[in-house]
Structure 1
């Protein structure tokens, strides 16, 4: 015999953990299944008629004051629904979910009993039923593109602006303005995205789409580029004019036209569009005239269910066999727990989203260049929750902001320490500084990684040479030796 401690997860606790990481669409499907299974559950369609509800309305709003000097916000939480308790982020403590008879605490940790470590990466293949869409296929390639957190935000926006055929329809100037990014940076990110599979995707016109495919095949020579610039002549079958503009004979023109027919003017045509569902944000972020940010839940996408107490009292008053009593008792407990779990889920999402906005207020005010280094632990410590709980919340949850729609996880990035104990620098900001230094170097004075370390140290950035090399490689920038050879060859 031996004595030991072990953690046992009840079915209710497993359900609470599951609800936390579900997307809005998955949650709606789960609720519909529960409504069919449990006769004591009723769906609330009209918020005004639920005054006697057992569960509290999860709709809430948080006002954040933007302090540009310190980068920190002063927060105030208030619940819109009448009769609700006001909760302050970060004032609670982790507790067992079932311990609060009035309802789940805003800071309850549901994750301590997890069977395995939570992943911050969203697995698109595991979360899509049916065929993969083009947008999902491109988003899944972002994590392998070697982009910084700021550039991933730009790339995600560009992908979202793409139509089902694979063409980018939004002007780059509009994307840059919305994100507060430099147009040259947006163009650089677009170049990376145009290297994604399928070849030709993210083009802004048919000639550019065909040019991307020809370049991938090593066939984009000046004559072929001239043909792409004059596709109207191809449409008219004007062979003589094509020979003149391309500077080749008739046989070459016929070969070039044959190559052109082998290309796809619609690179996204091979992907499914039937399963495409518009992403509904979980929270909204609005900038108010007084310089504050309003963070509120999207109540339209929060399914609200209640336990029908009148029906429960009516049923329990009837004579029943033991199995029937046991069934009704289980339904009542399940209904009560589900209502509390949904309320807890909504509160937890709001708390995490509010802390992200508080930490990344520079992005909302000034753009992607002002993203701060942020990790799950920082958010978890600030709101007094477990790190794996925050990880679950940031998976497949979206935030609608004045700068666009973003997944929670895109606001997290690594940090680089500052010399002298100053404020840390975000990894993407350091990458941007390295790229800027290399872009400005003279051909006869190519900077080595060690020299870049010295320059960055002068800027107050403490970084190792191997880290500079890693960031340089992630930006697809050759080494100093290769750049020096390329300069001589040029």
Structure 2
């Protein structure tokens, strides 16, 4: 058999559940229901919204019969699988791992919104328990799995091979294109010789194919030349970044590079798409170097939006987790650097960095 056929494939969530059903105490009808319900389970491990109605209609069974099997599926591994919502998912796990903790069950059943908002005092007051007891329960909730199917997700890391290498030589930089993945093309001597000895019809055919081959080779060389020129232009505009890092990134738009290299903006956009460069500062997509500008208060040269985002990230990385900086505080700290942006802009940049709000970052316990 081919090598691929001998390779083991990772077990999927659906495979894992079907195997447990086959090994379990399901009768023929329940097995048929279970197999169909499993097909209605999402990658995260949740039962699709209309799964019960869909399976009931297809198999001609009552909704109660389908619900009974769905409940049995929730007893399988991974804990919480086949749940209809987050509350049911967490409650199923809590009942299995912490059966003797009624406070935990009560919080999951009725106070998940307050947990999300970190309104622990309201929970303590409502359930007539101490804040410490609520805190202990919340810590247990944090260790439950909100996406029970996650462990079966196929993890295929994307390895980035740089298209360009920019290295520093003395006080200057050298640009080297990575041509490892490019085909090494040349015109075969066999067809060159055939042109001399073939009849007119065959000669015409060979000439046409040779023209196509020459065009392809020239196109590849032209594309590489274009990438080189665009990188050369980016290096010229963003020299401070290559020397000093992200905080020194300059505002740059496609039009700037297009005018510099004498090409259309659409060409620059196409050339920079999904192209990566290895620099002394790390590996970056070429599109990273294009940034909108943010004016400084004191009239100095504008700053790149990416630099502002990097500064926001640094502020949050260095904050006190028990007193995280708010968006408004970030606005004030940016003003001290002569950068004046609105609070909503800070919020937008923070969300782009996938950083939650200060209220959600705050550690209470």
> Could you state the TM-score of these two structures normalised by the residue count of structure 1?
0.38
> Larger % of helix: which?
2
Which fold has the larger relative contact order, with Cα–Cα distance below 8 Å and residues 6 or more apart in sequence?
A: 1
Please tell me whether Structure 1 or Structure 2 has the larger radius of gyration of its CA atoms.
Answer: 2
> Could you state the TM-score of these two structures normalised by the residue count of structure 2?
0.49
